[in-house]
Amino acid sequence: MMVGPSYMLRFISRLLNSIASIALTFMMFLTVADVLLRAGGHPIIGTYEIVALLLALVIGFGIPQVSLDRGHVYMEFLLEKLSKRGRKVMHTFTRVLCLILFAFIGYNLLSVGAAYKVSGEVTATIKLPFYPVVYGIAVCCFLECCVFIFEIIRIWRGQYE
């Protein structure tokens, strides 16, 4: 039953993580090129703005995959003292809190993105619009909500630990 949604969630998360990886690589090459060219007196215009937008993509697009890989920091010593059912309850409780938080963040990012689009807000030097990045991160927040729902289902099926 969960094979289809599970596969899609993992596929989309890997795809977004790949985009984040490409953005990080481009950010690294751009920074190195800017430093080298700046030493020669010819800096790349807008490097700071491009790097800032790419950093937002790296962080936002990487979050769902990190959650699926369980790459976040956990308080293991607290969970070890609980019974198996207690661990399930604690894992579920934290996932529900995170789900609410990311839904709230995603909703607010959609509002901010819409405001940026209407106002025409762009970066100062090279005039890149902000709203596509904000919308992209909002989508990642909603995808993270799906990850939390998927994890809650896995917790109560006994497939989590």
In the block, residue with structure tokens 């030493």: 39
| Count of structural domains within the chain | 1
User: DSSP secondary structure string, 4-25?
Assistant: HHHHHHHHHHHHHHHHHHHHHH
Report pLDDT for 1: 45
CB atoms within 10 A of CB 10: 15
* pTM, full prediction: 0.88
Report pLDDT for 3: 65
Distance in angstroms (rounded) separating the CA atoms of residues 142 and 79: 27
Q: Are the C-beta atoms of 134 and 109 separated by less than 8 Å?
A: yes
Report pLDDT for 153: 93
In the block, residue with structure tokens 């790097």: 51
User: Which residues, at least 6 apart from 135, have a Cβ–Cβ distance to it below 8 Å?
Assistant: 109, 110, 113
- One digit per residue, the tens of pLDDT, for the chain of length 161 reads 456 888 999 999 999 999 999 999 999 999 999 999 999 999 999 999 999 999 999 999 999 999 999 887 776 777 788 888 988 898 899 999 999 999 999 999 999 999 999 999 999 999 999 999 999 999 999 999 999 999 999 998 887 76
Q: Which domain holds residue 143?
A: 3-157
Structure tokens at 16: 């977004």
Structure tokens at 87: 């661990």
Structure tokens at 115: 């405001």
